[in-house]
Structure 1
Amino acid sequence: MSDSFAVAAVTDTLRAILQGEVGRQVPGAVVTARPPDEVTADRPSSALNVFLYRASVDASWRNLDPVGTRPGETGRPALPLVLHYVLTPYASGDAQESTAHRILGAAMVALHDHAELGPEEIRRAAPFSDLHLQPESVRITPVNVSTDDISKLWTAFQSQYRISVAYEARTVLIDSSRPARVPLPVLARGDQDRGPAAAANTAGLLPTLTAVVPEIVRPGGKLTVTGTRFEGRDALLRLTHPLLGGPVDRPAQEADATEATFELPEDLAAGIWSAAVVLTAADGTQQATRALQVGVAPRLTEPLPLTAELGADGSARLEVRCAPPLHPGQRVQLIVGNRPLDPEGAVADTTDRLRFRWRDARPGRHTLRLRVDDVESLPAVGAAGRPEFPTDAAVVVA
């Protein structure tokens, strides 16, 4: 999503794109962003004015669920804005109309070739905003405005009419300032922790992979896969990651016709991996099953529990260490009680150290969980063999 500076970021990016093309086509031309009634006062001899005259709400995005929330979590949807611009050329001298038309043509070609604002263009033109991190692209589209509407528009500007073109920038998603709520997960379902069970005979001619147990595992843990037609073949677990690549191959420790057990590497990165079983026959031919997802859980490392001091502004700064280390591009959140916190800056290098700022922090002891690419740190196993939240995975705010 984007911050509240995204509106200014769109305007500055448009100015940068238009300045590059208009300045090349009409040397000396300058792109401004001023109200039309103020342009003629001290404008350059050749200029293109970009004026944001209206901002509206995108109704289709307004009705969508909040982006980035999972089932059971609550959050406010983003504010989806459509920005409406009017572009007006100005020129002076004997050939002012010809020069103005050249400026207008160069501007329209520039926006035709930049129908979508690229993240790198936004980052260069507006480093003060995080609009370049928005998952939805900002698209620039020409708008047909009737003669009656354009006349009303210039009347409202209280300025003499000049030839103009209108564009809209859609959609700018601005984050809500209200924090989301992330409840603690359910650790057991019923007295014996039994969920629904179903069985069907799906055996066919080819090997199949039907389940991966557990669905979330720690690095170095054991993974059991079930399926059909594993017999008479060497079983290999092949793990791939959409960001880190792969493959990571692990031989089976135990295997029979319908089940195989594998041990994961200790340094396997946290996140969502795709797991497939590769079976090698005696003649060397290989067959791979379909892939299923398996989550590799991160964990918080020493020193725990954390201690944090409540600042004068009501915030607390937290620094945690994790294992395995995070890799560039991975998404991470620290969940303090029921409040998700984003790190101070994206993960740019491989690191096991993260810093967070908890605004509106509350004194007391709060449970800590680490989420990497939608996979949370696992609870501990208690004395009775039941899961429980680790007592040291917490922060004490004083």
Structure 2
Amino acid sequence: MSNSLALAAVTATLRARLFSRLGGPQVTVAPPNKAPDAASGDHVNLFLYRADLNPAFRNADPPGWQPGESPKPVLPLVLHYLLAAYSNDEGKAHELLGAAMLALHDAPVLSGDEIRAATATALPGSDLHLQPERVKITQETLSQDDIAKMWTAFGTPFRMSSAYQVTAVLIDSALPGAAPMPVLRRGADGRGPLARPGTGSPALLGIRYAAAGQVGALPGEQVALLVENLPAVALTARLRHLRVTQSVNVPLATPATGASEVALTLPATGLPAGLWAVDLGPAAGGSVRTNELALGVTPAVTALAAAAAGGTPVRTKVTVTAAQPVLPGQQAAVLVGARQLAVGLLTAAAKPVSVTAVLPSGKTRVRLRVDGVDSEIVDRAHGTFRTGPTVEVTIP
């Protein structure tokens, strides 16, 4: 998702594109009654005159939340802009308006790279470029009545113009959602029924972690891949991170004929936390590979700290240090008790990450969530919550 700088980020990106495509005339963002004098000489004015809710996203849960949790809904916006051109020569104004309209028509999507380039200096805290949902530009048709009412409201004479809407801009809530503690046991072994048609092709059926109920493994740990129809040849497991551009190949032992599972030992280093896609194939290469399954790599918390951060009411800064750095482009959150607090935009890899919020005093458990995978706070062998300095912190 994105933070409250998203509106300014969209305006800055559109402004940068128009300035680049027009090759000289200034691009202003003034109200229409001030636009004629907003710049000397020829210029184009882009005015944000309305922001509506996008109904398609009003009830959608933000990404990165688990089933059974209660996130605060995002603020989904549709932004409405009015584009007009100004010049002492009305013919020149028409030329500018046509060129500006073409600049928005030719590329109707604001890519992450374009947004980042436009906001890196002016809005370094913006994270709109990381939003999974694409930001699209659409020309908007207004009725004559709407146009007349709008220019009357602006209190300025009518001018040739074109309206656009930009959507979807999804802004995260500033309030923490509720993320209950994990269930210690789900039935006898924590597994549900598995049904799939037999195809005769090599296939991955599932992943079994070290203990029932686990949804991820730490780097260096071993998991069992449940398989069928594997050839009795040397295999390679291919791991591909689903959020950042990173992959790794892990050689496996040759399985026995008819093997129902193979052991995969995760590399001890170089595995960022989060969800990875895993599949199997012959080490010698070839096109016959299994389907992909999602494998969770758990963030390993090595230290926790909490300190008063001032303010009224008093806010607390909670810092979590992990063994694996959180990379730019990953979504991270710190779960303090049942509160999920989003980590701000990261511009560089970071092992310690911090959040600040008003929190109740006392000892509480803390989890680090990276791309939807939580650090482990449950002792699965004994069916209890873990204790100690890597899972508990005292809020002053």
**Could you say which TM-score interval applies, normalised by the shorter chain?**
0.7 to 0.9
3-state SS of paired residue (2:98): helix
- 1:123 aligns with 116
- 2:208 aligns with 213
Greater shift in the superposed pair: 106-115 or 40-49 = 40-49
The two structures, once aligned, show a CA RMSD in angstroms of 3.0
- 1:106 aligns with 99
Question: Deviations 1:138-171 (Å, cap 9, x if unpaired)?
Answer: 2221122233332222222221222111111122
**Which one-letter code corresponds to 2:235 in the other structure?**
L
Superposed displacement of residue 209, structure 1 = 3.3
Query: Does the CA contact (< 8 Å) of 1:91 and 1:100 recur in 2?
Result: yes
Decide whether aligned partners of structure 1 residues 288 and 91 sit closer, same or farther in structure 2, where only a CA change above 3 A counts.
closer
Question: Deviations 1:296-332 (Å, cap 9, x if unpaired)?
Answer: 222212x4xx442223222222333323444554433
Decide whether aligned partners of structure 1 residues 285 and 181 sit closer, same or farther in structure 2, where only a CA change above 3 A counts.
closer
- 2:239 aligns with 240
Query: Does the CA contact (< 8 Å) of 1:254 and 1:261 recur in 2?
Result: no
- Report whether the alignment pairs 1:309 with 2:307: yes
Question: Deviations 1:94-137 (Å, cap 9, x if unpaired)?
Answer: xx121111111121122122322232333343342332222222
- 1:167 aligns with 164
Question: Deviations 1:264-292 (Å, cap 9, x if unpaired)?
Answer: 332261332333344689xx999543333
Partner Cα distance (1:204, 1:13) in 2:
49
Question: Deviations 1:45-75 (Å, cap 9, x if unpaired)?
Answer: 3222222222222122224333432211111
3-state SS of paired residue (2:186): coil
Question: Deviations 1:317-374 (Å, cap 9, x if unpaired)?
Answer: 233332344455443332221122333442633x5x2121231122111112222332
**Which one-letter code corresponds to 1:213 in the other structure?**
R
Partner Cα distance (2:106, 2:267) in 1:
48
- 1:298 aligns with 299
Q: Among 76, 81, 85, which residue is 2:81 paired with?
A: 85
Partner Cα distance (2:366, 2:257) in 1:
38
Partner Cα distance (1:179, 1:320) in 2:
17
3-state SS of paired residue (2:177): coil
Partner Cα distance (1:166, 1:60) in 2:
21
The residue correspondences of 1:1-398 to structure 2 (distance < 5 A) are 1-22=1-22, 24=23, 29-41=25-37, 43-92=39-88, 96-126=89-119, 127-128=122-123, 129-190=126-187, 192-193=188-189, 195-197=191-193, 205-214=200-209, 216-229=216-229, 233-234=232-233, 236-242=235-241, 243-251=245-253, 257-267=259-269, 269=271, 270-278=273-281, 288-301=289-302, 303=303, 306-313=304-311, 314-346=314-346, 348-349=348-349, 351=350, 353-379=351-377, 381=379, 385-392=381-388, 393-398=391-396
Partner Cα distance (1:104, 1:199) in 2:
59
Question: Deviations 1:204-229 (Å, cap 9, x if unpaired)?
Answer: 64444323212532332232233334
TM-score, length-scaled by structure 2: 0.83
Partner Cα distance (1:325, 1:163) in 2:
53
Question: Deviations 1:229-250 (Å, cap 9, x if unpaired)?
Answer: 458x245351311332122223
**Which one-letter code corresponds to 2:297 in the other structure?**
V
Greater shift in the superposed pair: 202-211 or 137-146 = 202-211
Partner Cα distance (1:327, 1:235) in 2:
33
- Percentage of pairs with the same residue: 37
Partner Cα distance (2:90, 2:202) in 1:
74
TM-score, length-scaled by structure 1: 0.83
Decide whether aligned partners of structure 1 residues 48 and 261 sit closer, same or farther in structure 2, where only a CA change above 3 A counts.
closer
Superposed displacement of residue 16, structure 1 = 2.2
Q: How many residues align?
A: 379
Query: Does the CA contact (< 8 Å) of 1:221 and 1:264 recur in 2?
Result: yes
3-state SS of paired residue (1:216): coil
Query: Does the CA contact (< 8 Å) of 2:206 and 2:293 recur in 1?
Result: yes
Partner Cα distance (1:255, 1:68) in 2:
39
Query: Does the CA contact (< 8 Å) of 2:274 and 2:370 recur in 1?
Result: yes
Query: Does the CA contact (< 8 Å) of 2:327 and 2:346 recur in 1?
Result: no
Query: Does the CA contact (< 8 Å) of 2:310 and 2:316 recur in 1?
Result: no
Superposed displacement of residue 390, structure 1 = 1.7
Superposed displacement of residue 193, structure 1 = 4.6
Partner Cα distance (2:287, 2:107) in 1:
47
Partner Cα distance (1:230, 1:157) in 2:
70
3-state SS of paired residue (1:148): helix
Superposed displacement of residue 91, structure 1 = 1.6
Decide whether aligned partners of structure 1 residues 102 and 46 sit closer, same or farther in structure 2, where only a CA change above 3 A counts.
same
Decide whether aligned partners of structure 1 residues 252 and 53 sit closer, same or farther in structure 2, where only a CA change above 3 A counts.
same
3-state SS of paired residue (2:70): coil
Partner Cα distance (1:81, 1:348) in 2:
29
Query: Does the CA contact (< 8 Å) of 2:64 and 2:372 recur in 1?
Result: no
Unmatched runs of 5 consecutive residues or more in structure 1: none
**Which one-letter code corresponds to 1:121 in the other structure?**
E
- 2:212 aligns with none
Superposed displacement of residue 251, structure 1 = 2.4
